[in-house]
């Protein structure tokens, strides 16, 4: 399966200013697979260690401080000759050996010709808990679940993906029904690589759902294994409430929906743990839709999204028939699936994402994004009924802005609003963000 991040890895490999790379990402998004695939294609050999099960490698990091001895020791541990430019050194689950992160600084300063990549599923949590990090001495990348474009390529629909990437609206319009059908499939399968692989290899919908449940069970085990015992019950309460909170008309996270009298201070640490683990995305409200959005952030009001729309379906036990047949998934559930889908695609583009609402007003914007040239209010519609009352009123009150509407309608650029097909916006906005 092809991942967009592969091209970024190629640029890193050929960079004159290359430093050791740290690859972030939640568990089961495909970090280890991608790095091994990259190493197998682009290098003569791979020296791979995983600190969660390789005690010798962990001991090496504890005892040796020079780049020469570290590399010689890694060669001995892996049985691979580590040659500059020819060997990719992969240090997996690096959060299980905190000193290994600091050793990256030594390798950056004293062995710049060597190609070293570190990754870890719970690295975000480890850093938040105070593990030293070689700031300024490493390159960083983040891997997310497969987006819709990557799903198309996994399905062998490379041409369809290219049409989206090229914004070939005329061609896209002629095959829009096929895009919608594939989007429906993506809503069920999602972007977790194991689920996508099972689906494209024909293992069936039940096998896909079983894999999704396994991933969710793995997350639950992480709560008990890696989180402080005192906050594990609160982590589970937050995690288990997300689906029902997203099914509300107003998707703002309400603490009282978990238990009567719940307060933000009780659950802040639990929410932070889930976001550090990368399995929950937190979207804060902005009080003003102006650049830079960060200036107007209201951290006291937010929405929480699950990282993957397929896992959302598995958590909610939505049957395949509700997603794969007819238009139910686009009409029911108060747009919850569509907003999870939209957020997951936005996150993968690296675009800052917020939402906006006005108290005692009809105005509520599903998302607000900041591109290089301006800020854009975004409305996500799950079906073709696209009466944009909030959006229209907001633009009338803010004539300097232009809205973006995501819906099942074909592309159309109006003076105050640009309509982008729901299945096309990830590629479109990703391109806009790079321009």
Domain end: 142, 170, 202, which one? 142
Same domain membership, residue 134 and residue 158 = no
Instruction: Read off the pLDDT of residues 136-191 as tens digits, 9 standing for 90 and up.
Output: 999 999 999 999 999 999 999 999 999 999 999 999 999 999 999 999 999 999 99
Number of domains in the chain: 2
Same domain membership, residue 114 and residue 165 = no
Same domain membership, residue 166 and residue 220 = yes
- What's the pLDDT score for residue 435? 41
Up-side HSE of residue 414: CA atoms within 13 Å toward CB? 12
- What's the pLDDT score for residue 132? 81
Same domain membership, residue 226 and residue 292 = yes
Strand partners of residue 353: 369
pTM assigned to the model? 0.94
Output the CA angle 2-346-158, nearest 5 degrees: 30
State the residue range of the domain holding 399: 148-434
Domain end: 142, 163, 191, which one? 142
Same domain membership, residue 157 and residue 56 = no
Same domain membership, residue 170 and residue 113 = no
Q: What count of residues does the chain have?
A: 435
Same domain membership, residue 190 and residue 73 = no
* Spatial CA neighbour of 293 closest among 378, 385, 216: 378
Instruction: Read off the pLDDT of residues 39-60 as tens digits, 9 standing for 90 and up.
Output: 999 999 999 999 999 999 999 9
Please state the rounded mean pLDDT for residues 330-353: 85
Helix (H) or strand (E) holding 418: strand 417-421
Q: Which residue has the higher pLDDT, 348 or 326?
A: 348
Strand partners of residue 202: none
Instruction: Read off the pLDDT of residues 289-314 as tens digits, 9 standing for 90 and up.
Output: 999 999 999 999 999 999 999 999 99
Domain end: 142, 172, 192, which one? 142
Same domain membership, residue 157 and residue 86 = no
Same domain membership, residue 120 and residue 41 = yes
297 CA to centre of own chain: 21
Same domain membership, residue 245 and residue 329 = yes
Instruction: Read off the pLDDT of residues 370-399 as tens digits, 9 standing for 90 and up.
Output: 987 789 999 988 765 556 578 888 998 898
- Where residue 66 falls (left for φ over 0; alpha for ψ -120 to 50; beta otherwise) is beta
Burial of 210 (0-12, 13-18, 19+ CB in 10 A): middle
Q: Are 242 and 304 in contact (CB under 8 A)?
A: yes
pLDDT at 92 over 80: yes
CATH code assigned at 60? 3.40.50.300
Same domain membership, residue 165 and residue 134 = no
Mean pLDDT rounded to a whole number for the chain:
92
Instruction: Read off the pLDDT of residues 133-148 as tens digits, 9 standing for 90 and up.
Output: 898 999 999 999 999 9
* CA pair distance 64, 373, nearest whole angstrom: 49
Q: Are 148 and 298 in contact (CB under 8 A)?
A: no
Same domain membership, residue 75 and residue 162 = no
- What's the pLDDT score for residue 383? 62
Please state the rounded mean pLDDT for residues 48-74: 96
pLDDT at 331 over 80: no
pLDDT at 330 over 70: no
Please state the rounded mean pLDDT for residues 265-276: 95
* Tokens encoding 56: 């010798």
- First-to-last C-alpha distance (Å) of the chain: 27
- What's the pLDDT score for residue 213? 98
């Amino acid at each position: 399966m092809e991942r967009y991040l592969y091209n970024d890895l190629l640029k890193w490999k050929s960079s004159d200013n290359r430093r050791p790379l740290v690859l972030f990402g939640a568990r089961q998004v495909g970090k280890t697979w991608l790095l091994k695939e990259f190493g197998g294609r682009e290098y003569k050999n791979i020296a791979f260690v995983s600190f969660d099960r390789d005690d010798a490698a962990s001991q090496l990091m504890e005892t040796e401080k020079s780049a020469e001895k570290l590399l010689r020791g890694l060669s001995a541990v892996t049985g691979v000759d580590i040659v500059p430019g020819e060997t990719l050194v992969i240090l997996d689950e690096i959060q299980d050996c905190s000193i290994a992160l600091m050793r990256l600084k030594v390798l950056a300063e004293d062995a710049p010709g060597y190609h070293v990549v570190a990754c870890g599923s719970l690295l975000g949590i480890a850093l938040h808990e105070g593990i030293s990090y070689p700031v300024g001495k490493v390159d960083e990348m983040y891997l997310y679940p497969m987006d819709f474009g990557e799903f198309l390529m996994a399905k062998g629909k490379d041409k369809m993906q290219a049409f989206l990437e090229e914004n070939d609206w005329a061609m896209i319009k002629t095959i829009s029904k096929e895009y919608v059908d594939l989007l429906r499939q993506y809503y069920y399968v999602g972007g977790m690589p194991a689920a996508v692989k099972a689906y494209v290899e024909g293992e069936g919908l039940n096998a896909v759902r079983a894999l999704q449940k396994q991933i969710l069970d793995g997350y639950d085990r992480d709560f008990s294994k890696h989180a402080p015992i005192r906050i594990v019950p609160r982590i589970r309460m937050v995690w288990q409430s997300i689906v029902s909170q997203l099914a509300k008309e107003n998707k703002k996270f309400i603490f009282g929906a978990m238990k009567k009298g719940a307060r933000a201070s009780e659950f802040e640490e639990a929410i932070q743990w889930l976001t550090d683990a990368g399995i929950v995305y937190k979207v804060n409200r902005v009080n003003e839709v102006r650049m830079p959005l960060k200036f107007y952030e209201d951290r006291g009001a937010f929405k929480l999204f699950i990282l993957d729309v397929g896992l959302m379906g598995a958590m909610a036990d939505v049957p395949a028939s509700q997603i794969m047949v007819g238009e139910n998934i686009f009409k029911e559930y108060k747009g919850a699936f569509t907003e999870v889908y939209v957020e997951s695609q936005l996150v993968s583009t690296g675009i800052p994402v917020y939402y906006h609402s006005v108290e005692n007003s009809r105005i509520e914007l599903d998302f607000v994004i900041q591109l290089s040239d301006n800020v854009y209010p975004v409305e996500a519609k799950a079906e073709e009924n696209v009466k944009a009352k909030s959006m229209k009123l907001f633009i009338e009150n803010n004539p300097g802005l232009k809205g973006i509407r995501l819906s099942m309608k074909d592309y159309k650029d109006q003076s105050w609003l640009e309509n982008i097909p729901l299945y096309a916006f990830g590629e479109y906005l990703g391109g806009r963000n790079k321009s």
